[in-house]
Amino acid sequence: MKPREIKPGVYWVGAVDWDRRLFDALIPLPDGTSYNSYLVQGSEKTALIDTVDAAMPDVLLSNLQQLKVKRIDYIITNHAEQDHSGALPAVLGKYPEAKVVCTPKCQGMLVDLMLVPQQRIITAADRETISLGDRTLEFIHAPWVHWPETMVTYLREDKILFSCDFFGSHLATSDLFVTDEGQAYESAKRYYAEIMMPFRTSIQKNLEAVKSYAIDIIAPSHGPLHRRPEFIMKAYRSWTFDNPKNIVVLPYVSMHGSTRKMVEYFVGALVQRGVTVKQFDLTGADIGKLAMSLVDAATVVLGTPTVLVGPHPGVAYAAFLANALRPNIKFVSIIGSYGWGSRAVEQLSAMIPNLKVEVLPPVMSKGFPKEAEFKALDNLADAIAAKHKQNNYI
Ligand code: FEO
């Protein structure tokens, strides 16, 4: 993609990665992603805001060449992660006068991760500014979106917030700005769930920190830009501040059909009681979708058969993931089956210490479920529906 003008003298110069399908060798990218880099030309100085992934420095350098950029004074590094700092050494090589501007915490990380020479880095205090002549960049420290060193950059005169990962989305598109808010919401929620959710309280603080700024455009470093900042800020507020909803997430595996029968019966029982269910067969589930479902669910019920006395490894993985993502869920239970003995409940319960939840009585069936287990599943569905109602989770 060629450089795109956002405003006179402000350009998108990043790279769209249409074909990437995995991030961190972990996170599915069904819609690819982009690494947005921005050029800001002032009357006296020129700044580049974030670079691109280590796989695509040539795209960024070519964009700068097309704009005939002879000199860069500052490379603003909002975040040290390699998808934004990966091309930093190449840009520093091409523009020898450029200084990197970042938070003090980011400085050490750039030296460690990208081998950036210390003398090429200037640190910026919270709310410190740099003048480009007729344009001013203000740096707002925003720790833990989603690493400890992160900041966002505000271009005062144009009211543009360069937010890096904050408000971003893994979405490859030829549109510079969001055109389909439904699609943008879905991608941003997936991104929030996978990247930001573990740091919900920090996100809340950072939402407050940028609230007082007049913002016309949010320019994240992944996905399209927002011309309606209130759209994405409202979504973030709901994901971080709102109560959970009347939703049960049910990730499960079944080996010989017993657990599947219990899951089918249980889902029916919950729906009958007015509870929304999101069911995931973990043998083929998109873990990004599973993560998204955890953003606003009140309850997680894990469904597992017994393998070598413990839970199925696929279910253990889901429990590990939920524990790491720290969703705002309030209740957990386990349903499943075993042939002759099981410690699946104990083992799964021990895997979720980060979740501040009430554990509701599990239902484990010896072999195929029978009347007693169906009755117990009804009781569990009753308990969940009642808990959601008592807490006004609607
Ligand atoms: Fe897009 Fe945390 O890097």
- Reported as a single tens digit per residue, the pLDDT across 80-93 is 999 999 999 999 99
| Dist. CA 84 → ligand 1 center (Å) | 7
pLDDT tops 90 at residue 336: yes
Q: Which residue has the tokens 């599973």?
A: 290
Q: What is the pLDDT of residues 355-386, one digit of tens each?
A: 999 999 999 999 999 999 999 999 999 999 99
Cα(127) to centroid(ligand 1), Å: 22
Ligand 1 center–CA 231 separation, angstroms: 21
283-333: per-residue pLDDT in tens?
Answer: 999 999 999 999 999 999 999 999 999 999 999 999 999 999 999 999 999
310: left (phi over 0), alpha (psi -120 to 50) or beta: beta
CB 330 less than 6 A from any atom of ligand 1: no
Q: What are phi and psi of 276, to 5 degrees?
A: -80, 140
- Half-sphere exposure in the Cβ direction for 58 (13 Å, CA): 2
Residue environment code for 248-264, b if the CB has 16+ CB neighbours within 10 A, otherwise e: bbbbbbbeeebbbbbbe
352: three-class secondary structure by DSSP: coil
Residue with tokens 């400085």: 107
Q: How far apart are CA 269 and CA 194, in angstroms?
A: 30
Cα separation, 195 vs 169, in Å, equals 10
Which residue's C-alpha comes closest to atom 2 of ligand 1?
81
Cα(197) to ligand 1 centroid in Å equals 14
- Whether the CB of 165 sits within 6 Å of ligand 1: yes
CA 376/CA 362 separation, integer angstroms:
9
Burial string for 290-311 (b: 16+ CB within 10 Å, else e) reads: bbbbbbbbbbbbbbbbbbeebb
Ligand 1 pocket residue status of 81, Cβ below 6 Å: yes
Burial class of residue 115 (count of CB atoms within 10 Å of its CB; 0-12, 13-18, 19+): exposed
What whole-number distance in Å separates Cα of residue 251 and Cα of residue 285?
9
Nearest ligand 1 atom, CA 222? 1
- The model's confidence at residue 11, banded by pLDDT at 50, 70 and 90, is very high
Global pTM value: 0.96
Asked if 303 and 251 touch (Cβ cutoff 8 Å), the reply is: yes
Say yes or no: CB of residue 170 within 6 Å of ligand 1.
no
CB-ligand 1 contact for 84 (6 Å cutoff):
yes
Q: What is the pLDDT of residue 188?
A: 98
pLDDT of residue 141: 98
Q: In this model, does residue 49 exceed pLDDT 90?
A: yes
CA distance 216 to 71: 28
CA distance between the termini of the chain: 44
- pLDDT greater than 90 at residue 267: yes
CB atoms within 10 A of CB 196: 25
- Find the mean pLDDT for residues 24-39: 95
pLDDT at 2 over 90: yes
pLDDT band at 1 (very low <50, low <70, confident <90, very high): confident
Which residue's C-alpha comes closest to atom 3 of ligand 1?
81
The fraction of the chain above a pLDDT of 90, given in percent, is 99
Give the closest residue (by CA) to ligand 1 atom 1.
Answer: 165
Ligand 1 center to 165 CA (angstroms): 5
Average pLDDT, the chain: 97
pLDDT for res 279: 98
DSSP letter at 172 equals: -
Asked if the model's pLDDT at residue 75 lies above 90, the reply is: yes
